[in-house]
Every structure is written in structure tokens, then in C-alpha cells.
Amino acid sequence: MKQYLNQLIEGETLSREQTHDILLGITHDQYNDAQIAALLMALQSRGVTVDELLGFRDGLLETGKHIDLGDDNTLDIVGTGGDGKNTFNISTCAAFVIAGAGYKVTKHGNGASTSVSGASTVLEAHGAKFTDNPDVLRRSLDEAGICYFHAPLFAYGMKFVGPVRRALSVPTCFNLLGPLVNPCRPKNSLHGTATQAQQRLYVRAHQKIGDNYGVVTSYDGYDEISLTSGFKLVTPNFEKVFTPKDLGLNYVEPKDIYGGQTAADACHIFDAVLEGTATEAQKSVILANAACGISVIDRNLSVEESIALCRESLESGRALAALRRFVAINS
């Protein structure tokens, strides 16, 4: 570790191979907590590079559990977290809308980061049990249109840095790794980032990975499409700034998409959207995120055209049916 720290002190960057080796070393208890903390803070102070991030990703995928779901054209939709906005479970709710519209979703997630309810929190509240059984995951994808990977069951390497990250209590580059280590390595992803700098980092990472992607950021610091401001979507085919009006939707206020004080509050909003009793603002933000996801997985459709498919998924009850089937299979 001393060599790596000296490189960082001298203002040098680490190679993809070096951060890969560091991750493997961490999982083999080659470094103590003080050394790991020093490394993470040095990277955070300067800002992690694409190759440094991808090296850690390589190590996490190598030491984690891979799930082979065949050649299906699936989508992951998830934000990086850590924006501090405490919204309700927007990307998770949007995932069921996408599944209800007939597209396959392989969602990766975890418990809450800076909000009261993470993806795992809201799914567990509905009675879902998490599994790494490929047969159950395959059945869920086939019958419900969606399966879910609870990160701790797959990204084994994360647990080795967990105590240090908790002790530091500040963001590190590992906050950005979660969306990049989906265990089935889907062909498509819609990733939300909280800043334009994170968006640029993610775009360059996806370009090196070679998958099909959409990376979105709202201009007021949400790691998803909030409709509280304009937002920028970058894909391999275009880079475009949207306003809510471009999608036929209205601007909303931050309070309109607030997740509440408890996980139960967030779960109530999640259910209300799928059951058709949510506010127009809550429904609109789900339509926007789901539509962007569909436009990534189906390049023949624009975001604007995808809104209609998402609205039909919600209003017909197919999104709610996808949730109910998912819970039945995963409980």
C-alpha cells in the first residue's frame, strides 16, 4: 500500500490494474483500516479517475457472484445515491412501470444510503425475500418482467471496506461503484448521478465498458429525474437537455417528491403511484424516469414517445401486476 499512497501524494494517478490489485488485497486482509482510509481519502480529495474507478469495479466483479441470465436484452435503472434529497423510491417504482410496459428489468440495489428507504427497504416491506438463486431470478424475470439483485448477496468485496466507510462518514469512490457492479452485467442501464462531474465520469466509464447506457442528472442535485429542474440525459446516440415541458409534464416542487420521515411513508407513496392514487407530481416523476429507461433499451423510441407507454403501463394496472407477481415469486 505504501507505494500506492506515495504515488497519490506525488500527484500521480493509479492505473486500472493497480486499483484492481488493491481491491483484491483488501479482500485478502492485506491492508489495515488506517491504510484503506488513507487511500480512500486521497482519492476523494483529488477525485477518482475513470481507470481507478473501473479497476475497483473489476475487482468487485471478480470477487463477487456472477449471475448468467442468458442473452436477454435487459435494463438496470438505479441512481448513485448520496444526493441527500430523501425522495421516495423513484427508480424502483419506475422499474415496475418499465416491466409493466413489456421490457425486462434486472435491477440492482441495496438499503437506504441517505434517504429513509432504499430499493431493498421498499421491496422487503412488501414481503419480498432476497435471493441469489439463479432459477428464482430467472423465473422472476420471465414471469414478472423484473428480477432484483440485493447487493450484499453478490458484491462480496464491499463488506471489506464497509467498516472504514462507516467510520469516515463521508462519501468515497465506493459510493459510485454500486450501479456499475450489477451481477448479471445487463446490456443496458439508466444511471442517475447527482452532479455533472459524476455524469461525465459515468459516461466515460460506460464508454470503456462498452455497454448501452443512459446517464442522467438533474440540474439541482438530484441523482434521478426530479422534474424540479431541467435535466441532462447522455446516451451513446445523443446528449440532450430536457425540461419537464418537453415531456408534456409540469415542474414539481421538492416537497412533492419527498419520501417522508420513515420507510413506511416512502412505501405508502410507492404503492400510491402503482395503485393510481398518487398525486400528479408523484406520478409524473415516475413517468419521466421510466420513459428515459425505455428510450435507452429501445433506441427506436424517443423519451417523449416512451411517456405514452409508461402512462399505459401505470393506468392499465400492468405495473402493479408486475409488482404483485414479483412479490409472489420472491416471497
CA distances from 12 to 1, 202, 285 (A): 14, 21, 42
- Taking the model in full, what pTM does it have? 0.94
Cα(93)–Cα(274) distance, integer angstroms: 8
Q: What pLDDT does 112 receive?
A: 61
Contact 192, 198 (CB under 8 A): no
pLDDT: which is higher, 61 or 111: 61
Q: What is the pLDDT of residues 286-315, one digit of tens each?
A: 999 999 999 999 999 999 999 999 999 999
Residues 6+ apart with CB under 8 A from 170: 44
Every domain of the chain and the residues it spans: 2-63, 74-150+174-329
* Residue 138 predicted with pLDDT over 90: yes
* Residue 114 predicted with pLDDT over 60: no
Cα(304)–Cα(307) distance, integer angstroms: 6
* Residue 330 predicted with pLDDT over 80: yes
Q: What is the pLDDT of residues 149-189, one digit of tens each?
A: 999 999 999 888 888 888 887 888 888 998 999 999 999 99
Q: What pLDDT does 266 receive?
A: 87
Residues 6+ apart with CB under 8 A from 70: none
Q: What is the pLDDT of residues 61-101, one digit of tens each?
A: 999 999 999 899 999 999 887 777 777 789 999 999 999 99
Report the CATH superfamily, name and number, of domain 2-63: Transferase, Pyrimidine Nucleoside Phosphorylase; Chain C (1.20.970.10)
CA distances from 307 to 185, 215, 244, 246, 276 (A): 26, 18, 12, 11, 16
19-57 in b/e form (b: 16+ CB < 10 A) is bbbbbbbbbeeebeeebbbbbbeebbeeebbbbbbbbbb
Cα(270)–Cα(122) distance, integer angstroms: 8
Fold of the 74-150+174-329 domain: Pyrimidine Nucleoside Phosphorylase; Chain A, domain 2 (3.40.1030)
Cα(209)–Cα(149) distance, integer angstroms: 20
Cα(47)–Cα(44) distance, integer angstroms: 5
Contact 74, 164 (CB under 8 A): no
Q: What is the pLDDT of residues 195-243, one digit of tens each?
A: 999 999 999 999 999 999 999 999 998 889 999 999 999 999 999 999 9
- Mean of per-residue pLDDT scores for the chain: 93
Q: What pLDDT does 16 receive?
A: 98
Q: Tell me what percent of the residues of the chain surpass a pLDDT of 70.
A: 98
pLDDT band, residue 261 (cuts 50/70/90): confident
